[in-house]
Chain A
Amino acid sequence: QKEVEQDPGPLSVPEGAIVSLNCTYSNSAFQYFMWYRQYSRKGPELLMYTYSSGNKEDGRFTAQVDKSSKYISLFIRDSQPSDSATYLCAMDTDKLIFGTGTRLQVFP
């Protein structure tokens, strides 16, 4: 079993939709949870981060962590074509472990 599982998609939604991206994990030692966004032919860039359980909101983006279920989510409200990218969840102890990434396409 992989330490971090993520549905690879692709996910295709119309502009303005609410997008939900999810990951599950198996290692209860993870404390730091991150979401990275990766545009084509670029390196990943940090989008959101949370420590332990709870919610965090930043503009149109909300990150949720449920440690009891070992489940993390990223919600994107009012999605835009510029949100089209691959979204990677990642978790950290002494090194960063990534999900496989979900490819999102937002069409006008």
Chain B
Amino acid sequence: DVKVTQSSRYLVKRTGEKVFLECVQDMDHENMFWYRQDPGLGLRLIYFSYDVKMKEKGDIPEGYSVSREKKERFSLILESASTNQTSMYLCASRATLDNYGYTFGSGTRLTVV
């Protein structure tokens, strides 16, 4: 089975800190995605990447950046964490030719205090 692993389940950071959320997939998928999930708003796309060193803005990229130096790893960076970035962050991957094959990690619950 495809596995998408997010490095932390729970994270507490202070306002203004630089935060790194890591995601690793083990099935050689080209495409990787970062979403945040908030009550009443569902999953919203932050950034995605079609391949190594490629990145595209999603619907809510402000305050975030990403890094994809290796195919299996996609990092989400909060440059200066703010309380409104408290959320559940979900990483997903899929193969380019498989429109249905999104696999999600278990999520990182980030609290910014």
Contacts and interface: CB of A to CB of B under 8 A. Distances in A.
Q: What secondary structure prevails in chain B residues at the interface with A?
A: strand
A23 to B, nearest CB: 11
Contacts of A88: 42-43
A98 interface: yes
Contacts, number: 51
Interface residues of B, number: 22
A interface SS class: strand
A8 B40 contact: yes
B61 interface: no
Interface of B: 4, 33, 35, 40-45, 48, 58, 90, 92, 99-107
17 contacts: A8-B40, A32-B100, A41-B107, A42-B106, A44-B90, A45-B104, A46-B100, A46-B102, A51-B99, A88-B42, A88-B43, A95-B45, A95-B58, A96-B102, A97-B45, A98-B42, A101-B42
